[in-house]
Amino acid sequence: MWILDSAYRGGVDLWVRDGAVTKIRHDYDPPFYLYLPDPHPHHDMIGTLESEYHAGECTFTTIFGELSGYRVFAGRSVAEAIEQQTNYEAQLFNVDVRIDQRFMAEHGIFPCGAEHESRFSPDISYNLRRFEISIRGNPSLSAAFTDIDVTHERCERLHGRERNVLADLFSLVTACDPDVILMPDADTWMPKLQKQARAHGLEMPFSRTGKYRRMDARSYWSYGRVEHKESALIPDGRILIDTEKSFVYREGGLAGVLMAARLSGLPPNLTSRFTPGTLISSYEVYEAVRRGIVVPFRKSDAEKVRRFAELRAADRGGMMFQPAPGIYGDVDEIDFTSLYPSIIVQANLSPETIEHPERQGFLPAVLDPLLGLRIRTKQLKKSDPRYAGIDSILKWMLVTCFGYTGYKNAKFGRIEVHEGITGRSRDILMRTKDIAEAMGFCVLHGIVDCLWVQGSPIEALKAHIEQTTRLLTEIEHFDWIVFLPQNDGSGAYNRYYGRLSDGSVKVRGIAARRHDTPEYIRAMQRDMLTVMASTATIADVGKAKDLVKAIYRHAVQNLPYAHAQDLAINRRISRLTYTHRCIEGAAVKEYQKRGVAVAPGAKISYVVRDARKYAIDPAWSAGSFDVRYYRELLDKAWGEISYAFMSEKPSLNCVGRDNRSINTIH
Amino acid sequence: MRIELSKGITLQSGTFNAVIAPEKVIVAAINSHADLQRFLFLFVCGNYSRLLSGINRTSGNFEIRRAFTAHQLFTIVKEASHTIVFVEHDPTMFDGAEKMIIPVSGALKDVGREALVILYTPSMDRPFSALMRSADRVFQITAPDGSMDRPQRSARSYRIGGPLPPAQTTLEVS
């Protein structure tokens, strides 16, 4: 039974692909669970629940242990009424678990996998019919569908009057009956498509039942910035992926979306639209239900009382060693594989093991197979790039599993676990540094789970670290690496670039890597790095200076003649009103003036026409640009590269670098 | 037991007080009262405290509990058995949990029947104004220059246009 899609509409609908795709309906009306520390004052309420909602006494298991309470066959509104009536004394469980996910977890089945397959196998067998739709035009502006490219068994272009184009598109979809539709900006186009289809009296055939589920738009916080998720129309029985906006698809491709579905027990339509954080949280929920553990409705178990000094000692985040800026030759980067989840598993860190460390913790138990799968896919992708997408999704899920231990909405998180992880990671990085230095290596830089060292033999160091820490590491060798300075001249923690031993260049934090860098400037820096990538030693880097500088001069000379679109700045906006005049605020205003709806977290693309007057144009209509403004950006990007030549005298030893500071990050 | 918050403004036990004041006034009040060392003091805050780094307290009587959700805040306040309970207001706790404002406000009032409860914010916002309705006394203190602190940023205010705190820049995986 290969489950393609699932939904709850009074019963659980599973869309199963077995040659053809069929819908199987299961009657399923699960209860939620209620625990009252003192049930006696609430006997009237319990009586009503028994008579109205078939409540009955039962015992159930939380991660902290067994509780005696009640099962209640009712929905969220009744659960919320119980909370209020008991003045929030009642503890409720399994109230907000998705019912189709819960059904599958309880029955030991999962999406996107055959019955004999393991959820934790890196191999996904699927034979899905794909159909790609690319609508020409700007999805924020266009309302007409007169030019559409489609790819199924062949490529076709549908062009002409809107009604004919839509009728042709719908006929093709009906005839091909695809399982997966891939469409850039699908979530923006779909409501417009639906509207226009209705206007022309056409039936939109993307859903296998004709019905669509709606996900609401929302803005939310993710790692300190506002993100925006558009509303979505989700078809029944067919996977529709917004290839432009889906983070999971972008990182992991279709295999990544399907793997996320298999692990989390959610249909691919949802996993392609969720963040890695939601995926890891959903995975934990699926695992809890599968293991017969109930999922708390509210996060009410607060941090225990702390003394001031104790809190200051515990809450210090990850460890960093500040690098001395400069260029260094023959550097190895030692990177711990999935350090934080490995610590959770190794140290048995879970909310319930804070008070009872002797117990097997829930979090380590559920993360262990995921970690094992990641280690396998990381190994496999080295020889088979087909595993790269799955590996990427697993990497992101495991990265966020740490953050979720301290996240307010995490079902199985607690801040003490978060602190326990970072505390151990600090010890590990310090120990690793001590081992390296004791073996005669020079430690140049360190950040949370990575250490940059000079010395040899690196394999011996790797073996010693792995033996001591019982954690896996990966080594990347740089022929040379440039650590850039901060404004105050001290070393930046996360801005560097260098040539790896395979001849490729690894960059972090510079213009070529930043999402908001205009393409013209990105291309200039990329060209420079390509030239530098051909130099295997610091001395050769110095020799490439003239060639690299020529690229800069060429970019400066041609800047006035560049296409305005190549100077578009792509930004994710954090707000709609700005107290001070600024370029970003002007861009938001311009979007609004042109009738384009924007929300915090949404991406905008603009070209600066006159920076002094805060005059900007949306990228799609830009014709001219402020040369002086872009010259400044160009010079800044050049500065990041030219620093390699300014500091081409290598800093080869660590002796005398005692001013290197040690810091922690949050 | 009394605390002089500012000249002429004294808070006493058995009351629930809502205080709107610049951070430095509150930090100075907490740091300067030697008397406070003698009493069991509970400092409650959210994920990002604006005061904690400025507080210079080594007393074993000074305890901290952090709440990330309104439900956790409710639990903490209900469990508090300290002489002084100081709550640094964090409006983000009530995002999507507006129903918890009345229960939390009631719990603060209950604890304030015996303890000295201080609900503090540097600037007024909608959840605070609802929480302070059950307070016995409300104080608004302005800085000597007449200014107030910048409004506290809530997730809601970010959505409607507040500035962002610095984004985490270290989450870059390879």
DSSP SS3 for A504: coil
A319/chain B closest Cα distance in angstroms = 11
Question: Which segment of A100-114, A388-402, B138-152 scores lowest on mean pLDDT?
Answer: B138-152
The whole-model pTM stands at 0.87
pLDDT band at residue A303, thresholds of 50, 70 and 90? confident
The CATH class that applies to domain A111-290 reads alpha beta
Q: What is the pLDDT of residue B148?
A: 57
Q: What is the mean pLDDT of chain A?
A: 92
Residues in chain A with CB shorter than 8 Å from the CB of B42 are 305
- Is B68 within 8 Å of B46 (Cβ atoms)? yes
pLDDT band at residue A651, thresholds of 50, 70 and 90? low
Compare CB distances from A224 to B69, B73, B165 and report the shortest one's residue.
B165
Chain-centroid distance of CA A399 in Å reads 9
B56 to chain A: nearest residue by CA?
A308
**pLDDT (tens digit per residue) in A241-262:** 999 989 999 999 999 999 999 9
Q: Is the pLDDT of residue B121 over 70?
A: yes
- C-alpha to C-alpha distances, A235 to A134, A202, A205, B52, nearest whole angstrom: 18, 16, 9, 49
Residues in chain A with CB shorter than 8 Å from the CB of B159 are 219, 226, 575, 599-600
The answer for A 572-631 residues in CB contact with B (under 8 A) is: 574-579, 599-600
Residues in chain A with CB shorter than 8 Å from the CB of B58 are 308-309
CA–CA gap between residue A365 and residue A379 (Å, rounded): 22
Sketch the domain layout of chain A as residue ranges. Answer: 32-93, 111-290, 318-370+407-506, 510-559+630-651, 563-624
Average pLDDT of A533-543? 94
CA dihedral (A127, A394, A289, A89) in degrees, to 10, reads -140
- Measured CB to CB, residues of chain B less than 8 Å from chain A are 42, 47, 55, 57-60, 62-69, 71-76, 93, 99-100, 103, 155, 158-174
Give the CATH number of domain A318-370+407-506; options: 3.90.1600.10, 3.30.390.50, 3.30.200.20, 3.20.20.80. Answer: 3.90.1600.10
A665 and B170 within 8 Å at the Cβ level: the answer is yes
CA-based radius of gyration for chain B: 16
Average pLDDT of A52-56? 96
Q: Is the pLDDT of residue B154 over 70?
A: no
A221 to chain B: nearest residue by CA?
B155
Q: Is the pLDDT of residue A116 over 50?
A: yes
**pLDDT (tens digit per residue) in B48-89:** 888 988 888 766 788 999 998 999 999 999 999 999 999 999
pLDDT band at residue B163, thresholds of 50, 70 and 90? very low
Give the CATH number of domain A563-624; options: 3.40.50.1000, 3.40.50.620, 1.20.1740.10, 1.10.132.60. Answer: 1.10.132.60
Compare CB distances from A302 to B57, B67, B164 and report the shortest one's residue.
B67
CA–CA gap between residue A301 and residue B57 (Å, rounded): 26
Residue length, chain B?
174
Q: Is the pLDDT of residue B46 over 50?
A: yes
pLDDT band at residue A272, thresholds of 50, 70 and 90? very high
Buried b (16+ CB within 10 A) or exposed e, A425-450: bbebbeebbebbeebebbbbbbbbbb
Q: Is the pLDDT of residue A323 over 60?
A: yes
- Is A247 within 8 Å of A223 (Cβ atoms)? no
Q: What is the pLDDT of residue B165?
A: 40
Q: What is the pLDDT of residue B168?
A: 39
Q: Is the pLDDT of residue A525 over 80?
A: yes
Instruction: Write out the H or E segment, with its range, that includes residue A256.
Output: helix A247-264
- Fold agreement between A111-290 and A318-370+407-506: no
All domains of chain B in start order, with CATH: 2-160 (3.40.50.300)
A506 and B67 within 8 Å at the Cβ level: the answer is no
Q: Is the pLDDT of residue A527 over 50?
A: yes
A307 and B155 within 8 Å at the Cβ level: the answer is no
The answer for A 449-508 residues in CB contact with B (under 8 A) is: 493-494, 506, 508
B4/chain A closest Cα distance in angstroms = 23
Question: Which segment of A35-39, A141-145, A493-497, A642-646 scores lowest on mean pLDDT?
Answer: A141-145
Q: What is the pLDDT of residue A663?
A: 55
Question: Which segment of A578-592, A600-614, B30-44 scores lowest on mean pLDDT?
Answer: B30-44
- C-alpha to C-alpha distances, A43 to A50, A68, A80, A312, nearest whole angstrom: 10, 15, 18, 45
Compare CB distances from B69 to A299, A576, A579 and report the shortest one's residue.
A299
Average pLDDT of A367-390? 95
Chain-centroid distance of CA A621 in Å reads 31
CA–CA gap between residue A523 and residue A521 (Å, rounded): 5
Tokens of A374: 């990641």
Q: Fill in the amino acid letter for A332.
A: D
A575 and B74 within 8 Å at the Cβ level: the answer is no
Residue A245 burial (10 A CB sphere; 0-12, 13-18, 19+): buried
Percent of chain A with pLDDT over 90: 79
pLDDT band at residue A392, thresholds of 50, 70 and 90? very high
Q: Is the pLDDT of residue A662 over 70?
A: no
A134/chain B closest Cα distance in angstroms = 30
Compare CB distances from A224 to B99, B167, B174 and report the shortest one's residue.
B167
